[in-house]
Amino acid sequence: MLVLREDVLLRCGVSSEDGILIALSGGADSVALLLEMKRLQSAGKIGPIAAAHLNHGIRGAEADRDAAFCRALCERLAVPYAEGFADVPALASEKGVSLETAARTARYAFLNAEKSARGLRFLATAHHRDDQAETLLLHLLRGCGTDGLAGMRERSGDLIRPFLSVPKSDLLAYLAERGEPYCEDSTNEQTDALRNRIRHGILPALEAIRPNVSEALAKAASLVAADADWLDGVAERAFQSDPTREELAAMDAPIRMRVLKRYLPYATYERSDLETLDSLLTAQTGTRRDLKFGFTAWTSAKRLLVGRIGSEPYAEELPIGGSVRVPGGTVSSQIVPEALFPCDSETVYLNADAVRGTLSVRSPREGDRFRPFGLGGSKLLSDYFTDRKVPRFFRGGPVLADENGILAVLGYTIDERARVCAGTEHILKINFEEDQAYVGERLYGAGNREGSRF
């Protein structure tokens, strides 16, 4: 009896060269996964494999027993093995989360680190069809949308779940046929955790009403997943088009909220985070809202922006014909034959002969003074911002300067001494490209991609 079909690995994108780390708890599911992965490796269907086990510091002697079992199993199968320990109760207390959440976070942090250290491409877990049914009900009870109703996926990035369509009963029958032992986790029988109450109470009750209910729930998750993937594709294309606030507000809600999710620079978010961003789409320019983990969302005239406010002072040399990255974007310079007016707010043209010494891009400094183009006199930069009603938290944008002071306040204006006129011989074009990159925030050492637009 075989429970892992090769076509599942193909759907997961696994080739015969790809190495896989197996998450090994010692329970029936993960033991079956390790045995099947070893079979496929021996047949040349996949690349090198290894197994990793984390002791969560919760079950005392029972946990030590599980670790010893995993070590012995991997030694018998000649599979490279890694073992780790995490004080999950302490982590849960420190982070203010449940034991289940802290354990999952610590486990994936350990597994991902081990996968990377061994140079393996995929991490495989033994989640099966019954787990999928439990997950779907958990998400439903929490009031999820289509992403939650899609449940787990066979592949999420470098994480694969090859058993997701296999019922638990098949895994137990597989081990019984082979005479393979496995460990029982006593906490799985406790009903203090919501998942266990679903496993031992809700699912059996549903099974009495509708036999093979886990199969039906898994099928529903698969159908919803297809719809969710299509919506995500539409949202990703909309996000990449760099929409204005007005364009975002005009989108239908299912697409708009998915686009807004891509602005969040952290993986763990709630519906309220998206609603916060949504409220900014029609807010006044300069409106600010605080997000989690020290991030802030605010509005410019046309854009929704997310980032960290109040970054450390910076100063970077800008070579002529080169570029430099600074907080908020990339500044580039080049000598051009002519100035093309009118230009957008991201582009300025300067008299290159007015530059003295080294050209640099830096943060504004206290006491900065310059002669704003067209105003006819000297003014403190802070007063210039006040006159323009620029919010204080939005005043850290880049300044272009030389040894004599400010040449341009990028995005706003230039200094009078750098103006381009009819007799200007050498023209310097400066472009400030607002950062469109994704920024990731891994929480507790584990997380997914998510990004924001700066």
Q: Which residue has the tokens 């900065």?
A: 368
Domain ranges for the chain, please list them. Answer: 6-221, 241-307, 315-434
379-380 and 369-370 as β-strands: parallel, antiparallel, unpaired?
Answer: antiparallel
> Is CATH 3.50.40.10 the right assignment for the domain spanning 315-434?
yes
Q: How many residues does the chain have?
A: 454
Q: How would you class 230 by CB atoms within 10 Å of its CB: exposed for 0-12, middle for 13-18, buried for 19 or more? A: exposed
Q: H-helix or E-strand containing 85?
A: strand 81-85
Q: What is the DSSP letter of 311?
A: P
pLDDT at position 351 is 95
219's CB contacts (< 8 A; 6+ apart) are none
How far is it, in rounded angstroms, from Cα 272 to Cα 278? Answer: 10
**Neighbour order of strands in the sheet with 155-156:** 81-85, 49-55, 20-23, 122-124, 159-160, 155-156
Which residues, 6+ apart, have CB-to-CB distance to 166 below 8 Å? 3, 4, 128, 129
Closest CA to 151 of 165, 168, 137: 137
294: nearest Cα among 279, 281, 311: 311
Q: CB–CB of 369/405 below 8 Å?
A: yes
In this structure, the number of other CB atoms found within 10 A of the CB of residue 268 comes to 16
**Distance, CA of 426 to CA of 148 (rounded, Å):** 58
Which element (helix H / strand E) includes 103? helix 99-117
Instruction: Give me the residue label for tokens 């290159």.
Output: 352
Where in 281-436 does DSSP place strands (E)?
Answer: 288-290, 296-299, 304-307, 315-317, 323-326, 329-336, 347-351, 360-362, 369-370, 379-380, 399-402, 405-409, 413-414, 427-434
**50-84 burial, b for 16+ CB within 10 Å, e for fewer?**
bbbbbbbbbeeeebeebbebbbebbeebebebbbb
Token representation of residue 448:
């997914």
The CA-atom distances, in angstroms, between 403 and each of 232, 355, 379, 381, 395 are 49, 8, 18, 17, 22
Fold of 6-221: Rossmann fold (3.40.50)
Global confidence as pTM: 0.65
Per-residue pLDDT of the chain (454 residues; tens, 9 = 90+): 778 888 898 899 999 999 999 999 999 999 999 999 999 999 999 999 999 999 998 888 999 999 999 999 999 999 999 999 999 999 888 878 888 888 888 999 899 999 988 999 999 999 999 999 999 999 999 888 888 899 999 999 899 999 999 999 999 999 999 999 999 887 776 666 788 889 889 999 999 999 999 999 999 999 999 999 999 999 999 998 889 999 999 999 999 999 999 988 777 788 889 999 999 999 998 888 988 877 889 888 888 988 766 557 889 999 999 999 887 778 999 999 988 877 777 889 999 999 999 999 998 988 999 999 888 789 999 899 888 877 555 566 789 999 999 999 988 899 999 999 988 999 999 998 865 332 332 222 222 222 233 2
Question: Helix or strand or coil: residue 288?
Answer: strand
Residue 382 exposure: Cα atoms within 13 Å on the Cβ side: 5
Cis (ω within 30 of 0) for the bond into 181? no
